[in-house]
Amino acid sequence: MFSKWKSKKEAQPSKITVLEILAPVSGQAVSLTGVPDETFSGGHMGQGIAIEPSEGKLIAPFDGKIAHVVKSSHAVIIEHSSGLQLLLHIGMDTVSLKGSGFISHIASGDEVKAGQTLIEFDIASIQAAGYQTITPVIVTRNGEADPEVVCRYGSVTAGKDIILTVASRQ
């Protein structure tokens, strides 16, 4: 008797995508654990880093598409062609300013290039109103396995220094 051979599909190794993310603001990059908001410091939004800005200009950290701009212009979600989404959130509780001190140069759906100005913000007026300007940069949770995120801390220059390296399986 001959036995039948069953063809088994060999498991295809998953592709690993590595993305280097440039600093969206100049300043001092610190761990998320130092952010005075449990939503960010506890990692509930995702992994990432925070930057205490030295200038009030938020730029695109990579070429991508604006997935969402918060009406008050204090936060934006940018999506890379790989599907990775990044939340850029200027300050803590700054939504309460209702857009005062923020000038948005983008809208949801816009295609942007790395280094393009997204939002300008007035650090002095935000602080004078009693709010902190520390800016979380979060790799958002998208329902898939969390990617591996490596952070670079210290002094960073917007558009020049890599602050995050993100490796994900696809």
d(CA 78, CA 138): 11
In this structure, what are the phi and psi dihedrals at residue 159, rounded to the nearest 5 degrees? 80, -5
Render the burial of 103-129: b for 16+ CB within 10 Å, e for the rest. ebbbeeebebeeeebbbebbbeebeee
Q: Pick the catalytic residue: 74, 80, 89, 105?
A: 89
- 89 catalytically annotated: yes
d(CA 61, CA 84): 12
Positions marked active-site: 89
